[in-house]
Structure 1
């Protein structure tokens, strides 16, 4: 007997019609922030992920120094329509905390 195994993030029991459509303004802001970060020489080679929800931009990933972290936040604030910025970028090699 063959039983299919779902992949992570794949839920066969959820109805896709229940999922809210992403806001077009959030998608526009996400694209503009990503474009700004990829065009600036300070943030171009950094590992930055951009997520936007309700016009709040969340910056995730790793950067090489504090200057790159600061510049990423400033470039994000300059994008029209951004309501808030949550800069969670971490420095490469930085520990999360003691256990």
Structure 2
């Protein structure tokens, strides 16, 4: 059991997909280092999180732009996960957070 996280950079319309064993966000922050834009994050709790991450990366391979970043709107990634994988739990940003990021980063 682990987590698939999706980070969305609204300014550049790119999405990062990764995996982690825990909900602790320090790993994602450490991997990003300094990142100048606000990111929205969705986290899915799934079984076989390594296999799920591999499947998602394979599905969107043609959209890969840098490492685990994909030149792809977050809705495509979320829709794929929700329709093709069994997930137990979803953490997502509140509508007010999404709106705030959209207004401040466009």
TM-score, structure 1 as length reference: 0.33
Q: Which has the higher helix share?
A: 2
Larger Rg computed on CA atoms: 1
Q: Which has the higher strand share?
A: 2
TM-score (norm. length: structure 2): 0.31
